[in-house]
Amino acid sequence: MTLTRFVTKSAFRNKRRSVLTVVSITFSLVLLTLMMTVWHSWYIDKGSTEAAQRLITRHRVSLTQSLPEYYREKMRTVPGVVAVAPTQWFGGLYKDEKPENFFAQFGTDPNEIFKVATDFKIPDNQLVAWQKDQAGAVVDSELAKKFGWKIGDRIIIKGTIFPVNLELNIRGIFTAPQPTITVYFNLKYLQEAVAYFKGHSGTFNILADSPDDVPKVAAGIDAMFRNSPEPTKTESEKAFQLSFINSIGNVKAFILSICLAVVFATLLVSANTMAMSIRERTREVAVLKTLGFTRQSILGLYVSEAVTVTLVGGILGCLLAVGLIAAIKQVPGMGFFFLGMKVTWSTYVLAILISGMVGLVSAIFPAYHAAKVDIVDGLRHIG
């Protein structure tokens, strides 16, 4: 029998206990992986290169103030700006107020939006059809699938911010690298229907010529309008999206404290199991010693045993987390926060590493005690 086989055999010698421990650790690791994935996609992931090249400009005072539309032509003169498209959040209701019927509607310029969102794909003939129909709209392919929309369908969106209901003809279906749950329509339609909104846009989406130019472009645009009656605030697309997440509260502290609680709970579970398992085998330790195993090797054997158990839990946890994240995306009203979220390799590695570390730490104390046992006492032990 090799040492590895000895370790795996001992790790699962009490099947029920090992299975219970593994399941317990699996559940904790699911949570840990989930939290780390959320953290990664919100705070670490910079997005695709195309997304990293985009900026969003809004009114300095707040998102609810709109900007004059002529700012767009001025922004084009800022060095590094490639394309600018106005965007206006419509915030309307489709069918009813239920969260499963929620999606974003933006009024924009059909001639330029896809020049800004360079990673969005739409067939040319559909784009042209949209540009020709002022009451036309293009929809995200995932959204079209969800509601069963086809080209030529008419959808009615009830206004809440604006005193108008939109009657839109679906002219095209676009695909984005990540689902966006967005419908784009022509901003002119909105401006003509709502007199006071003529010549306005809530935000502008901008494409810079490289990700490195983004800070320069942002500073350039804001400097241009600093002393005008409608000052602007320009930030990268990612920073803009994060500002919504940050509004939920101190999310970072929230995630971190849950992670800490989970790791500590896992540690307790694993330590508990190891303590029980090693105590039962006091006599076995004495026998091993008699056979000539040194203290260090006995310590090593028990520690690797614990690490084996927690690693199995860790791997299972990672796998389950993938399924869980896929399930959360389907929950109405939650999808918006989890759009495009997936478990990355670095998260897998980190989660498994943490589970291994937990096993290591949890076993050291009981294993050290076992290794110290006097041979004669150990052999005499009744347990």
Q: Where does this chain bind other proteins (CB under 8 A)?
A: 16-17, 20-21, 23-25, 27-28, 30-31, 60-65, 91, 97, 99, 158-161, 163, 244, 246-250, 257-258, 261-262, 264-266, 268-269, 271-273, 275-276, 328, 331, 333-334, 337
Q: What are phi and psi of 199, to 5 degrees?
A: 75, 20
Give the integer Cα–Cα distance in Å for 150 and 19: 50
Of the pair 23, 287, the CB lying nearest other proteins is at: 23
Please state the closest distance from residue 13 (CB atom) to other proteins, in A. Answer: 13
The residue length of the chain stands at: 383
Nearest to 302 by CA among 323, 321, 322, 279: 279
Please state the closest distance from residue 123 (CB atom) to other proteins, in A. Answer: 35
Please state the closest distance from residue 127 (CB atom) to other proteins, in A. Answer: 31
* 206, 77 Cβ separation under 8 angstroms: no
Nearest to 351 by CA among 32, 21, 28, 25: 32
Of the pair 281, 289, the CB lying nearest other proteins is at: 281
Q: Is 326 helix (H, G, I), strand (E, B) or coil?
A: helix
Of the pair 21, 182, the CB lying nearest other proteins is at: 21
* Residues contacting 7, CB < 8 A, separation 6+: 301, 304, 305, 308
* 335, 247 Cβ separation under 8 angstroms: no
Please state the closest distance from residue 297 (CB atom) to other proteins, in A. Answer: 26
Q: Which residue shows structure tokens 């909105």?
A: 190
Please state the closest distance from residue 112 (CB atom) to other proteins, in A. Answer: 27
Of the pair 136, 366, the CB lying nearest other proteins is at: 366
Of the pair 234, 273, the CB lying nearest other proteins is at: 273
Please state the closest distance from residue 246 (CB atom) to other proteins, in A. Answer: 6
What is each CA distance from 310 to 278, 316, 324, in whole angstroms? Answer: 16, 10, 20
Give the integer Cα–Cα distance in Å for 224 and 204: 15
Of the pair 152, 229, the CB lying nearest other proteins is at: 229
Of the pair 89, 293, the CB lying nearest other proteins is at: 89
Q: Record the tokens describing residue 3, joined without a space.
A: 């040492």
Alpha helices in 331-372 (DSSP H): 335-338, 345-372
Please state the closest distance from residue 145 (CB atom) to other proteins, in A. Answer: 24
